Amino acid sequence: MGGGWRWPLHHHVHLEEATMAIYIIKNGSDEEVNRIVATQEFVEANYAGRYEEVVPAVNSVSPEIAARLWRNQELEDTDFIVPLSDHPQRAAYMTYRAALRAWPSTSDFPDTKPTLGS
């Protein structure tokens, strides 16, 4: 999907603290530009009415599914680093990507997300 603002890679959230849902993010022409898993508070704060909820928040997205969707988006968002051997943060990003891939098999899943630089 297109560019624009992305969820900060260092953002840390415990999924049990927030009700997650899937949202369609729209541009000024009311065209879909992205789909994200987020809390309603996050979407309202960052997309000012340019969104539509796809799945109702009430028990619709299990923490495990929300976590996998978030992880997959993080991997997609960091794909740019793989071919950039001279990027100053490449090692940190590659470690982060490895942690994202391993996360579902850890005891931290789905409650504690991996973070860049940890």
- Domains of the chain, residue spans: 15-105
Phi-psi region of 49 (alpha: psi -120 to 50; beta: other; left: phi over 0): left
**Percent of the chain clearing pLDDT 70 (strictly above):** 80
Residues of the chain with pLDDT under 50: 1-16
Give the per-residue pLDDT at 105. 95
Give the per-residue pLDDT at 30. 87
Give the per-residue pLDDT at 13. 43
Q: In the numeric block, which tokens belong to residue 117? A: 């630089």
C-alpha angle 96-5-58 in degrees, rounded to nearest 5: 80
